[in-house]
Each structure stands twice: as structure tokens, then as C-alpha cells.
Structure 1
Amino acid sequence: MLKRFFLLCSGADLELLQKCANGEQNKYAGIGATVFFTALMATIAAAYALYTVFDNIYTAIFFGIIWGLLIFNLDRFIVSTIKKRESKRQELVQVLPRLLLAMIIAVVISKPLELKIFEKEINQILLTEKNQMTLDNKTQIAQQFTPEIDKINSEITSLKDEVTTKENEVNTLYETYIAEAEGRKGTKLIGKGPVYKEKREKHDAALAELNQLKKENTEKIKQKEIAIANLVENQKLKETQTQPIISSFDGLMARVNALNKLAWLPSFFIFLLFLAIETAPIFAKLISSKSEYDYKLENHESLVKTWIQQQVHQREAILQTDINLNDKVYSDLKTEEELYNYKQKMARNLMKLQADSFYKNQQEIL
């Protein structure tokens, strides 16, 4: 039963193979097994590749099976359409397009399996890229908020400098009226005279202005610090919102690009392996000599071809005979007097009817 299944996979004529030797059947069973297992590997490869896309095992398996059946059908078609010819050159000409198709299939099958085989190395490359993307993302987001934050910090610094300048002014006035009271500066008279009172009033007025300025600037600074805190919070929120995009950067294209960054030699050998598997049936039929099955298939095709040619020739002969008979019949009819008189009578009646109809139409018009 398994042998018959593999023979079916080979695309050979089962009725002809049943009449062939056991060795011939085994050869085509081996070809069919290669076609089947290639399709099986294609199913696994496609299922894994689609799982990285859909992230759903059932969807991946469903479409993987469809892809495997497609590859199975293509391989079976390629193998079954290769026929032994009288000339090796003719065989090579018919094999070349099939080899090209087999190479394309080998690439399609091998690439997803390479992704699975080198999964750990690919994950390491993707992790490095994600970390770099996270840093770049934070830098880009910071560039959107940093100018505004720096501007507000500069305004806060200006407000603090304004308070400091006023404090220095008040301290200077304080030192001035104290020195006047002690007689070290100004009038150099010890005691609290009129000049002392004037300087004290200036100090007290400046101190009141300082207190008011501190109160106003403290409120302004508080508001600006709240604005900075909001900007920082928005910046972190944007980083949090964009991080899932970076975290999900492990799709099929990202993994293929990461695979291309690995050493090419292991991937190349895996590709060669699948190329050998895919082209093995083709080369097996190409290099093998004409076998029993080939002769029987050629004989069967020759019988069908001959029968078709006979049928076509027979139909052409019938057509030509019918044409000749019709020509002779109508040629003989041309010389018959009875047929001539009958047609003349009918033509005369037709012309009378036409004349009567024309006359009636003219009367209606008038």
C-alpha cells in the first residue's frame, strides 16, 4: 500500500508500471517518496514562516498544508513531464526550465527552515537591534520635548536670578543703614538720626518688594515645574506607547534580514541540501538510460498518436468526399429543364407579389 502511494506520488502511469519489473517499480517509488517528503518539508517550512506572520498555530498549519499540496503538485508535475528522448540534447532542453523551477522551490522551502535552525542566533541579533532601536526611539522622543523643557528651565533660572539680585540689593541697603547707625559710613555720626531713618525706610521698602517678588516668583516657578513634570510624563508615556512596536519587531522580514547578517556558508549548505533533494528526481531521470517503463510509455503514446492521426485522416477524407458529391449533385441540377421551369414560375409569382405590394403602399400614401 505504501509502495502504491509513492508510485502515485511519482506521477507515473500505474497501469503501465504494474506490467513492469519490480526494480522499475522500486525506482519510481523512490522518486515518488522524494516528491512526498519534499512536500512534507515544504509544509513544515511554510507553517513555521506563516506562524511568525499570523502568530496563530491553526492558521499557520492550515495554510502550511495548502502550500505543501501546491509544492507536491508542482514536483509531481515536474517529474511526470520528463520523458526519455532519443537525444540527450533534447532531454536537456526539456529539463532546463524544470530545473529552474526546482531551484526556486528549493529556495522557498529552505529559507523558513533556516530561520528555525538558526532561531537562537537570529533572536540574539534581533535583541541587539531592539535595544538599539529603544535607545534611538528615546533619543528621538527626547528631541521633541527637550527644547521646551530647556526653555522652561531657563525661565525658572531667570526668576531665581531675579530674586537673588533683589536679595543682594536688600543686603546692600541693610549694610548701609547699619553702617550709618554705627557711624562707620555716611555722616559718621553714631545714632539713629534722620539719615539713618531715610536709609532704613529704603531698606524696608526694598525688603517688602523682595518678599513680594519671592512670593510671585515662587508661584511662577511652581507652575513651570508642574509644566516640566507634565512634559516629562508625556515623554515617558510616548516611550511606553511606542515600545510595543519595537518589541514586536520580530516578523518574517526582520528575521530574514537578521539571517542575512549571519555567516553565509551554513545557510548556503542548507540551500544546497534542499536543492539536491528537489532536483534528485530530475537528475535521476536525466542520467538514467531508457528503461522498460519508458519503452512501454513510448509505445502507448505511439498507439494513441497513430489512432488520432487515423481518425483525423478519416474525417478529412469523409469531408472531401462529401464536398465532391455536393459539387457533382449541384452541377447536374444546373442542366435540368424541370427545375429551371419551376424556379422561373416561382420567380414570376414573387415579382407579381412585389408589384401588388408596391401598388398598395402607393395608394395609402396618396
Structure 2
Amino acid sequence: MIQKFFLICSGADLELLQDCPAGERNKYAGIGATVFFTAVMAFIASAYALYTVFDNVYTAIFFGLVWGLLIFNLDRFIVSTIKKRDSFKSEMLQATPRIILAIIIAVVISKPLELKIFEKEIDQVLLEEKNQMTLDNQAQLAQQFSPTITQLEQQITGLKNETATKAAEVNALYETYIAEAEGRKGTEIVGKGPVYKEKREKHDAELAALAELRETNTAKIADLEAKIADLNQNYDQKVTETQPVIDGVDGLMARINALNKLPLLPSLFIFLLFLAIETAPIIAKLLSSKGPYDYKLEEQESAIKVWAEQRVGERQAVLATDQALSQKIHAEIREEEAVYRHKKQQTEALLKAQADKFHEVQLKSL
């Protein structure tokens, strides 16, 4: 039962194989098994690849099954259409397009399985790329807010410097009138005289101005700091909104790109393995000698070909004979006087009838 199933998978003619030795049936059963298990691997690879795209098990299984059946049909077609010839060169010539197709199928099958086999390494590469993308994203978003924030911070620094400068001036005035009272500077007379009072009044006026300036600048600084806080909040919000996009960079194309950044040798060996599996039935048929099944198939095809050529030849012979007979018959008819006189009478009658009809039409038109 299993052997019959694999023989069906090989695309061989079961009726011809019935009369072949057991070794011939085993050979084609092995070819069919290779075709079947290649289709199974194609199903697994396609289902995993589509799962990374749709993130749905049932969808991945359905389309994976369709893809596996497609690969099975292609492999079965490739193997069944390779015929053994008397010349290896002609066999190789007819097998070349099929080998190219097998290479393409091997690439399609092996790539998703490589993604699964090197999943942990790919996850590490994706994590590094996501981290770098997060930093780049933050830097790009910061470029939108940094100039405004820097400008506001400069304004705050200016206001603080203005307050500090005013405070330094008030402190200098304080030192001046204290030194005047102590007799260290100015008039150098100890005591609170008119000069002292004048300097004290100037200091008190500047101190009041300082208090007013400090209150005004504090309010301005608070307003500017609130704007900076809003900008920082908007920046954090932008980062939060764009981060899911970066976290979602985990699709099929991203994983293939991450796989290409890994060392080439392991992926190459896996590809060569599937290439060997995919081309094994073709290579086996090319390298194997011409067996009983090949002779029987060639005999069957040649019988059909000869029969078709014979029927075509017979039809051509019938056509040539019919044409020759028709020419001979018409040649003999041309020589008979009775036929000539009858044809002449009929022609004269036709011409007279046409003339009478034309004359009748002309009279009606007058």
C-alpha cells in the first residue's frame, strides 16, 4: 500500500510497472518518497513563513497546505517528464530547465526553515536593530523639539542672569552705604549723615526694583519652564506612539534581512541539503541506466507515434488519390462535345433572360 502510494507520487505509469522487476518498482518508489517528503518540508516551511506574516495558525496551515501541494505537483511533473535517452547529452539537455526549477524550489523551501532553525540568533540581531532604531527614532524626534527647548532655556538663563546682575548691583549699593556709615569709604566720616541717607535711599529704591524684577522674571521663568515641560511631554508622547512601530519590525522581510547578517556557511549548508533533496530524483534518473520501465515506456510511446504517423500518411495518400482522380475526370469531361453543347445552350438561355429582365426594368423607370 505504501509502495503504491509512493509509486503514484513518482508519476510513473503503474500498469507498466506491474510487469517490471521488483527492483524497478523499488527505484520509482524511492523517487516518489523523495517527492512526497519534499512536499511535506515545503508545507512546514511555508506554514512557518506565513505564520510570521499573518500570525494566525489556521491561515498559515491552509496556505501552507496549498503551497505544499503545489510543490508536490511541480516535483512530480519534473520527475515524470524526464525520459531516458540513448544519449546522456540529450538527457542532460532536457533535464537542465528542470534542474533550474528544482534549484528555485530548494531556495523557496530552505529559506523559511533557516528562519526557524536560527530563530534565536535572528531574535538577537532584531533586538540590536530595534535598540538602534529606538535611539535613532529618539534622536530624530529630538531634532523637532530641541531647537525650541534650547531657545526657551536660553531665555530662562537670560532672565536669571538679569536678576543676578540686578542683585549684584543692589549688593554693591548696600556695601556702599554701609561703608559710608562706618567711615571706610566716601566721606570717611563715621555716622549716618546726609550722604549716608542718600546712598541708603538709592539702595532701598534699587532693592524694591530688584524685588519687582525678581517677581516678574520668576513668573516669566515659570511660564517658560511650563512650555519646556509641555514640549518634553509631547516628545515623550511621540516616542511612546512610534515605539510600537519599531517593536513590530518582526515580519518575514525583517527576519530574512537579519538572517543575511548571520554567517553564511550554516545557511549555505542547509540550502545545499535541500538542493540535494530536491534534485535527487532528477540526478538519480540521469545517472541510472536504462531499465525495463524505460524500455516499456519507450515502446509504448513509439507505438503511438508510429500509429499516428501511419494515420497521417494514409489521409495524405487518400487526398492525393482523390485529387488525381478529380483532375483526370474533369480533363475527360472537357473533351466531350455533348457537354459543350449543353453548357452553351444553358449559357445562351441565361444571357437572354438577363437581357429581357434588364429591358423590363428600364421600361418601368421611364
Structure-2-length-normalised TM-score: 0.93
49-58 or 79-88, which deviates more: 49-58
Q: Which residue matches 1:353?
A: 357
1:10 equivalent to 2:10? Answer yes
**Cα distance in 2 between the residues matched to 1:86 and 1:15:** 24
Pairwise CA distance, 1:189: 4.0
Q: Could you say if the C-alpha distance between residues 122 and 206 of structure 1 is closer, same or farther in structure 2, counting changes exceeding 3 Å?
A: same
Q: Which residue matches 2:318?
A: 318
**Cα distance in 2 between the residues matched to 1:65 and 1:166:** 82
RMSD: 1.9
Of 321, 342, 346, 1:342 maps to 346
**Cα distance in 2 between the residues matched to 1:53 and 1:347:** 85
SS of the aligned residue for 1:186 comes to coil
Pairwise CA distance, 1:114: 1.0
Q: Which residue matches 1:172?
A: 172
1:133 equivalent to 2:133? Answer yes
Pairwise CA distance, 1:208: 1.8
The Cα offsets for residues 228-284 of structure 1, whole Å up to 9 and x where unpaired, read as 111111111111112112112222222122222222222221111111111111111
The one-letter amino acid of 1:63's match is F
The Cα offsets for residues 18-37 of structure 1, whole Å up to 9 and x where unpaired, read as 22222222211111111111
**Cα distance in 2 between the residues matched to 1:220 and 1:162:** 12
The Cα offsets for residues 65-108 of structure 1, whole Å up to 9 and x where unpaired, read as 11111111111111011111111111111112211111111111
Pairwise CA distance, 1:147: 2.1
SS of the aligned residue for 2:164 comes to helix
Structural mapping, 1:144-223, within 5 Å: 144-223=144-223
Q: Could you say if the C-alpha distance between residues 203 and 331 of structure 1 is closer, same or farther in structure 2, counting changes exceeding 3 Å?
A: same
The one-letter amino acid of 1:10's match is S
In the alignment, is the contact (CA less than 8 A) between 1:45 and 1:110 conserved in 2? yes
**Cα distance in 1 between the residues matched to 2:189 and 2:8:** 127
**Cα distance in 1 between the residues matched to 2:360 and 2:327:** 38
Pairwise CA distance, 1:176: 2.4
**Cα distance in 1 between the residues matched to 2:77 and 2:176:** 109
The number of residue pairs the alignment matches comes to 362
Q: Could you say if the C-alpha distance between residues 94 and 225 of structure 1 is closer, same or farther in structure 2, counting changes exceeding 3 Å?
A: same
**Cα distance in 2 between the residues matched to 1:10 and 1:354:** 79
Q: Could you say if the C-alpha distance between residues 32 and 359 of structure 1 is closer, same or farther in structure 2, counting changes exceeding 3 Å?
A: farther
Structural mapping, 1:202-351, within 5 Å: 202-334=202-334, 335=336, 336=339, 337-351=341-355
SS of the aligned residue for 2:346 comes to helix
In the alignment, is the contact (CA less than 8 A) between 1:7 and 1:25 conserved in 2? yes
Q: Which residue matches 2:143?
A: 143
Unmatched segments (≥5 aa) in structure 2: none
Unmatched segments (≥5 aa) in structure 1: none
The Cα offsets for residues 273-299 of structure 1, whole Å up to 9 and x where unpaired, read as 111111111111111111111111111
Pairwise CA distance, 1:227: 0.8
The Cα offsets for residues 290-348 of structure 1, whole Å up to 9 and x where unpaired, read as 11111111111111111111211122223223333443444455451213311331233
Q: Which residue matches 1:41?
A: 41
Structure-1-length-normalised TM-score: 0.93
The one-letter amino acid of 2:350's match is M
Structural mapping, 1:25-40, within 5 Å: 25-40=25-40
The one-letter amino acid of 1:224's match is L
1:86 equivalent to 2:90? Answer no
**Cα distance in 2 between the residues matched to 1:62 and 1:358:** 83
The one-letter amino acid of 1:349's match is A
In the alignment, is the contact (CA less than 8 A) between 1:10 and 1:80 conserved in 2? yes
Q: Could you say if the C-alpha distance between residues 274 and 162 of structure 1 is closer, same or farther in structure 2, counting changes exceeding 3 Å?
A: same
The Cα offsets for residues 148-173 of structure 1, whole Å up to 9 and x where unpaired, read as 21211111010001011111111222
SS of the aligned residue for 2:284 comes to helix
In the alignment, is the contact (CA less than 8 A) between 1:333 and 1:339 conserved in 2? no
SS of the aligned residue for 1:83 comes to coil
Q: Which residue matches 1:108?
A: 108
**Cα distance in 1 between the residues matched to 2:206 and 2:358:** 131
222-231 or 235-244, which deviates more: 235-244
Pairwise CA distance, 1:197: 3.0
Q: Percent identity over the alignment?
A: 64
The one-letter amino acid of 1:207's match is L
In the alignment, is the contact (CA less than 8 A) between 1:159 and 1:217 conserved in 2? yes
**Cα distance in 2 between the residues matched to 1:359 and 1:16:** 85
The Cα offsets for residues 159-211 of structure 1, whole Å up to 9 and x where unpaired, read as 00101111111122222233333443333444444333332322222122111
**Cα distance in 2 between the residues matched to 1:318 and 1:277:** 54
